[in-house]
């Protein structure tokens, strides 16, 4: 299984999720968001998406322009039926992306 994850700050890794993935032989791919790499892997090339935390707010797109790209990627993963897991900020980004994906689906 290919697990793609977004890291917003250098001190916040996957923790136990990483240990579980390694023990079970899953592949891990990381996007370091602050380096402008949000969504470097195509959604169809991943099985799971894990979105980690960070000190920023989900609505601070002017200060953190990569947030818009990240939300688009998360929304695409949700619409594609991927497993999407979020920790702290990640959970908030998923909620906002799911809300947007739901409204886009209605339009």
* pTM of the complete model: 0.88
* Predicted pLDDT at 100: 77
Q: Is 98 helix (H, G, I), strand (E, B) or coil?
A: helix
Q: Is 32 helix (H, G, I), strand (E, B) or coil?
A: strand
* Predicted pLDDT at 51: 96
* Predicted pLDDT at 39: 57
Domains detected in the chain:
2-106 (3.40.50.880)
What does the chain come to in residues?
Answer: 107
pLDDT tens, position by position, for the chain (107 residues)?
999 999 998 888 999 999 999 999 999 998 877 666 555 678 999 999 999 999 999 999 999 988 998 999 999 999 999 999 999 999 999 999 998 776 666 55
């Amino acid at each position: 299984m290919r697990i793609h994850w977004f890291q917003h700050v250098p001190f916040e890794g996957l923790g136990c999720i990483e240990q579980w993935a390694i023990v079970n032989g899953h592949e891990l791919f990381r996007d370091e968001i602050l380096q402008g790499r949000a969504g470097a892997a195509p959604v169809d090339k991943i099985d799971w998406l894990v979105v980690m935390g960070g000190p920023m707010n989900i609505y601070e797109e002017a200060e953190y322009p990569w947030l818009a790209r990240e939300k688009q990627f998360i929304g695409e993963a949700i619409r594609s039926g991927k497993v999407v897991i979020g920790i702290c900020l990640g959970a908030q980004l998923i909620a906002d992306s799911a809300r947007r994906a739901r409204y886009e689906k209605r339009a």
